[in-house]
Structure 1
Amino acid sequence: MRLTIHLDTFDRINPMAFVILWLDKETRQWSREGHLGLELPEWGTLHVDCGNTLVCGPHDSTPTCVLEGLDLNAPGSSFEGETGRAQWCANKGQALMSGQWHVQCIDTECIDPESSFFAGDETR
């Protein structure tokens, strides 16, 4: 199952800041589909801790963003329109910045990723 998540209302960073992420629950990876004012790598890993989803970089488990209340381990818990608080922690040494996440779309179809890079084959 893949979720399309929209992060926004990070007004302290940029009044128009947003990120659209594609989360793959099975592979525990994400990819950045669009963004403005918030810097993230093109893809990374997902971790779950205490019912929250940690959006991490591709090679470490330090969260860039925490999606509070989005539990990827809970069966059938996500639904389109679901919302919660997002804590932006990518700016080292600064206080956490709060924004919102919401589920834009849930895709239950099983398809191959468009990019083999995202699938873990970095040689192509």
Structure 2
Amino acid sequence: MRLTVQLDTFNRAHPMAFAILWLDKEKRQWSREGHFGLELPEWGSLHVDCGNTHVCEPNDRTPVYVLERLNLDCCYGLFEGVAGRAEWCAEGGHALMTGHWHVQCIDNERVQPEHGLFATGEDS
């Protein structure tokens, strides 16, 4: 299952700041599909802690974003339009900025990404 998640309303960064992330629930990886006003790498890893999804850099478990109450381990409760609070852990987690996330799309088909950004496994 892949989810397309939009992060927005990080007004302190920029009034129009947003990021669109493609989350691969099975591989626990994400890629950046679009962004403006928010700094983040092109791809990275996903980790779940206490029911929250941590969006991390490729080789680091320190979260760049924490998507509160987006639990990738849960088999129910994920649907298009579900939303929650997002914490942007800017500058290595020293300065937190609050915004929102919402699920734009859920794709249950097993398809390959158009552009293979992930540098591990068979995607490299």
TM class by shorter-chain length? over 0.9
How much does 1:118 deviate?
1.9
What is the TM-score with the length of structure 2 in the denominator?
A: 0.92
The superposition leaves residues 9-62 of structure 1 with CA deviations (integer Å, 9 ceiling, x where unpaired) of 000111110000000000000000000000111000000000000000011101
- Structure with greater helix percent: 2
1:112 Cα offset (Å): 1.6
Corresponding position of 2:4: 4
- Higher mean alpha-carbon deviation, 112-121 vs 1-10, is at 112-121
Aligned in 2, Cα 1:110/1:93: closer, same or farther, shift over 3 Å? closer
Shift of 1:122: 9.4
Aligned partner of 1:74 in structure 2 is 74
Which position in structure 2 is the counterpart of 1:33?
33
Aligned in 2, Cα 1:30/1:97: closer, same or farther, shift over 3 Å?
Answer: same
Q: 1:58 to 1:122 in 2, by over 3 A?
A: farther
Query: Deviating runs (4+, > 3 A) in structure 1?
Result: 121-124
Structure 2 unaligned regions, length at least 5: none
Give the share of equivalent positions with the same residue, in percent. Answer: 66
TM-score scaled by length of structure 1: 0.92
Q: 1:47 aligns to what? A: 47
**Correspondence 1:96 to 2:96:** yes
Aligned residues: 124
> Structure 1: how far apart are the matches of 2:57 and 2:11?
23
Cα RMSD (Å): 1.9
